[in-house]
Amino acid sequence: MSHLFSPFKTGGLTLKNRLVMSPMCQYSAVDGVANDWHLVHCGSRAVGGVGALLMEATAVSPEGRISPDDLGLWNDAQIEPLRRITDFVAAQDCVPGVQLAHAGRKASTTSEWRGGGGTLSHCAGGWTPVAPSAIPFDEDSPMPDALDRDGIKKVVADFRAAARRADLAGFKILEIHAAHGYLLHQFLSPLSNHRTDGYGGSLEHRMRLLVEVVEAVREVWPEENPLWVRISATDWVPGGWDEAQSIALSKVLKKHGVDLMDVSSGAMVPHAKMPIAPGYQVPFAEKIRAEAQIATGAVGLITNAAQAEEILKKGQADLIFMGRELLRDPYFALHAGTQTHVHVPWPVQYERARPKA
| Residues identified as active-site | 182
SS (H, E, C) 183-206: HHHHHHCCCCCCCCCCCCCCHHHH
Pair type for strands 13-15 and 8-10: antiparallel
Beta carbons within 10 angstroms of residue 36's beta carbon: 12
**CA-to-CA distance for 305 and 242, rounded, in angstroms?**
29
Cβ proximity of 250 and 294 under 8 Å: yes
Cα(310)–Cα(306) distance, integer angstroms: 6
> Treating both helix axes as pointing N-terminal to C-terminal, what angle do 243-255 and 203-220 enclose, rounded to 10 degrees?
40
Nearest to 48, CA basis, from 325, 357, 341, 356: 325
Query: What is the distance, to the nearest Å, from the Cα of residue 282 to the centroid of all Cα atoms in its chain?
Result: 16
- Cα–Cα dist 349/334, whole Å: 14
**E strand residue ranges, 204-351:** 227-232, 260-264, 295-298, 319-322
Amino acid identity at 306: A
Longest dimension (CA), the chain: 64
The CA distance from 156 to 346, in Å, is: 42
CB-based contacts of 230, cutoff 8 Å, min separation 6: 23, 99, 175, 176, 177, 178, 179, 180, 261, 262, 263, 264
